Structure 1
């Protein structure tokens, strides 16, 4: 199986949107980890007066995490899947959130450069055909010294991390995907993690893209060494 990209991936998420919230809620720590990564943006005063971009917001789990960390921020959620966005916009907390249906690669012509104080991206970059292009775009959308937090499956350096991920996928995630009729999407999930950057490699990618003060922060539980938060700031010239 080749990895799903662009329209094919959006279509798979459209189909999987109905069961997506139930499946991720069954993953221990899923929502708590997103909230921890959102807090790691370090937005002051509950985000009062700040504009935050939630890239790849999906059904809104990351958006809810941002609202918990920064309840006074003005949040814009972006996703390429219409079905996922419909689920997000229907939630009770979604009033006041601006949702944009678009592939992240097409945001340069739709959002003003330097118009966001912070960007959060949850489970996004490994799904992109050109992560470096999107990092350049993100850097351009951030105000000077704007903050970035990326919450992503990025395996650590130990073979144990890869073994745990493959075991969880084979015994839990992919069987669940078959039960909901979304087997292709969850096969993609497994491969997208294995074939993407390790945590140190993604940190280097952020530095090459011009982000400064880049740090890699672990997350607890079974996802230790599998999921990380990456934080950084837009460097000069953004």
Structure 2
């Protein structure tokens, strides 16, 4: 089965939006891991008025993680799926949070111009058609010295982690997707991780895009070797 792309992927997320929060809540550590990656961004060091771009915000789980790390941050949360954004906007947020519908690599056309002091991108880059183009678009809206944290399923490259990811998908993720009527989206989730960069390869991709001090930080528990935070910064 081929991966979902562009409009088909947005349509699949639209269809899954009503059940998405319930699905991710069943994933052990999902929200805790997002909060861990948000803390790794170092937002409190940036002051109370830090401008943050939450790229690929979905139903707002990553937005909530950012607010847990920096309650006074000025957050622009962006997603390409109208259905996911509708769910996000229905929740209660501080006035400094706004939601915008836009593809990650066409931010300017939607009025998302920056400059941003920090960017958070959760579960985004393996879903975009051209990760290099998206990294370039993100870097273009970042202020000098701005920081980035990418929270992503990117396998270590060791066979054991590839086998573990497929086992978890077959035992838990794919049955849940079928039960909710979203088989194609969750098969995409499984296969997109297998086909994406290893953690080391994605870090190399970030460096090639001009990010400095790139580091790979693992997650605890069963997701060690499967989910990582990639942190870096733009030159001051």
Q: TM-score, normalised by structure 2?
A: 0.97
Per-residue CA shift, 1:36-74, capped at 9, x if unaligned? 000000112585111000000000000000000011110
CA-atom RMSD in angstroms:
1.3
Corresponding residue number in structure 2 for 1:186 = 186
Please state whether the residue corresponding to 2:107 is helix, strand or coil: helix
Change (3 A) 1:88 1:218: same
Alignment of 1:39-54 (within 5 A): 39-44=39-44, 47-54=47-54
Corresponding residue number in structure 1 for 2:213 = 213
Change (3 A) 1:95 1:22: farther
Segments of 5+ residues of structure 1 without an aligned counterpart are none
Q: TM-score, normalised by structure 1?
A: 0.96
Segments of 5+ residues of structure 2 without an aligned counterpart are none
Corresponding residue number in structure 2 for 1:227 = 227
Residue 72, structure 1, aligned to residue 72, structure 2: yes
Residue 158, structure 1, aligned to residue 163, structure 2: no
Contact kept in structure 2, 1:207 and 1:214, CA below 8 Å: yes
Rounded Cα–Cα distance in structure 2 between residues aligned with 1:110 and 1:143: 19
Rounded Cα–Cα distance in structure 2 between residues aligned with 1:46 and 1:146: 9
How far apart are 1:93 and its partner, in Å?
A: 2.9
Contact kept in structure 2, 1:46 and 1:69, CA below 8 Å: no
Rounded Cα–Cα distance in structure 2 between residues aligned with 1:72 and 1:181: 38
Corresponding residue number in structure 1 for 2:121 = 121
